[in-house]
Amino acid sequence: MARVEIYTKFGCPYCSRAKYILNSKDVDYEEYDLNSQVGKREEMMQRSNGRHTVPQVFIDGRHIGGCDDLIEADRSGRLDPLLAR
């Protein structure tokens, strides 16, 4: 299974939606809460080429994007092969 990382903030509905998609696929992921983990916002912005909104999702180190990007990858059939690596 692929290594999945997601940067989130407490109370973010888009973060909840992205985690719902991952949970529905029985994917284990590492979650980085920007509210409680010092330095994670800067790390996220560096890894995502300056994106500052949450969530930001990475699969095997590859930047997938935010919630809308994750939904589109799922709808288009691109997500499952990425997760299966």
Q: Digits of tens for pLDDT over the chain (85 positions)?
A: 899 999 999 999 999 999 999 999 999 999 999 999 999 999 999 999 999 999 999 999 999 999 999 999 999 999 999 999 7
Query: Domain coordinates of the chain in residue numbers?
Result: 4-84
- Classified by CATH at the fold level, domain 4-84 comes out as Glutaredoxin (3.40.30)
Helix-strand-coil split of the chain, %, nearest 5: 40, 20, 40
Sheet with 29-33, edge to edge strand ranges: 29-33, 4-8, 56-59, 62-65
Amino acid 78 reads R
Give, rounded to a whole angstrom, the gap between the first and last alpha carbons of the chain: 5
- Rounded CA gap, 23 and 20, in Å? 5
